[in-house]
Structure 1
């Protein structure tokens, strides 16, 4: 009768795996739940103009954890600041009432809160508020559903190349092929996503070429990062990268609500991760003519550079682990475990 012998260290490995998975689930819960529990306006910058007494009264009563009040000399200056993304919206107290300047495409949640704030200011001044949406969503998608839905395809566009190409072109020999394939996929899929959003669902405006380049950069940043982690650390690296993009980057991206609706710390982390930077770049290219695109583009370029560096490091390590064909030839021996050495 044969007896099954458990390899030594199995219990320890099993314990580590179970604890690691439990920690991952807990981190996932925190990433999704905590930002939602503490969501709301957080230091949302808004421009205010009007008679000095009225503007100062708004700043004294409103400025605080929710709103960051910035005074401007004229309503035109407030409008310009909104269009340039210096502020998320604005209030102008005039003899005819209170003008509320919003940019719904820049952050629908902040727009709703600012509209309510404008109504409150108008009531205090015993007048009425008029809302001017300077940067709205498109007429075909007034709630921005297409923009919000775009993030998941972009994330999966980074995950799928590492997963599928790793199966088709495995090992060190297929590493450079996987990198080339991931970059080519980013170009094709990024152009397709931008085309669907602009010409299919009509969810975005702006220059298609610039928008497509931004989506391509976002997908390339995610795919190269995942490829690099997978090449260096195996499936553990792939799992780490996937959790970083999906479980942390997705809920902290702020694409659905706007960048000022998450707590400050969470929002900063989200904008530094590829999903958040990709969403910010898509929003600014599609609705703000590229104003403020430099920061998210640099973040994505940095992630892409790190991913490529990881791939090259793994490639170099793999080459060192491969027997030297020149050395085998000069020693008069042939390594039959590497048949490619015979055909060279």
Structure 2
């Protein structure tokens, strides 16, 4: 355990201490994948093995093509056999490795690069036969892709060559991993600004005066003296249609103007039927606007059935108030013609 803590401390030390600065280049992440141990037997017996490996990755990007990178991986628990005084013995143990290497990248696209690493691997085999460690040559190739402003994903193949300490005999480790790294302080690259070219200053015409039309609402309700709809009908009465004329004139005079038409009912009868009835009545009001020459695309038409009462449905007067169609033209800005 003490060696693992020491290894992680050394791994993090490869990044500069000024990692908190903006765009510092520091990155940190993890990886996981299959690990293969080759030629781990002194005899012809096949005791090579494969295990699931996992580790951490940290590094520092000095520019777009060069970085210094370190990893610490648990490579798996493996069996091996070795010769001792003419006798073949076997042992099983956990294999870990700490690597440090320069990383060189070639960008296929601005956000995708091929990379290679060649460096050293300090490996440790903690087994039933003892605890051994040594340094071997390490090489790796991979693909690194920037997924977001701060996150990269990668696929890597790593090879540690000729691990030989008396228990192992010219053993090689091959590791294939997928990983993710978080890049501190990195932001999206901004395009270079276009060179500024001074253009002659042209006198601009004075802007046309703009006016604001206030919102306007008309509520057609059966609580008033004007008949709105017949019982269980969606045909608008002539008197109710005439009361819409102020809003019709508003939309005819200003192409910027729009209207929202919402139908409502009381709670008598099934809710699903009342919903359909409110939609039919709202459409009947919209048809008056369309017949007056207003484009239907400028109208928002909907029914809300009995869902939004403004009075109690327990009284005749309350139900009459709830049977209504609300027509609202929101605020808009228009240019006043001189």
TM-score by length of 2: 0.21
The structure that is strand-richer by fraction is: 2
* Bigger RCO (CA 8 Å, 6+ sep): 1
Q: Work out which of the two has the higher radius of gyration on C-alpha atoms and give 1 or 2.
A: 2
The structure that is helix-richer by fraction is: 1
